[in-house]
Amino acid sequence: MLRIAVQSKGRLYDETMLLLEEAGIKLNRGKRILLLSAKGFPVEVLF
């Protein structure tokens, strides 16, 4: 399992989310969730 830490807002957040989306990694971002698992890929994103 790969864990990636990302800022919760700002330019780096936007660019990272775009990169993950282009790589086919889908995340369901909810409010106030600090750790998300990707669907169909062994990645967790920590905000």
The region that residue 7 occupies, defined by phi over 0 for left and psi between -120 and 50 for alpha, beta otherwise, is beta
**What pLDDT, on a 0 to 100 scale, did the predictor assign at position 24?**
92
Q: Which residues contact 35 (CB under 8 A, 6 or more apart)?
A: 44, 45, 46, 47
The pTM of the full predicted model, rounded to 2 decimals, is 0.74
Q: Cβ distance 18 to 26 under 8 Å? A: no
3-state helix, strand, coil in the chain (%, to 5): 25, 30, 45
Full pLDDT tens readout for the chain, 47 residues: 999 999 888 889 899 999 999 999 988 777 778 999 998 889 999 98
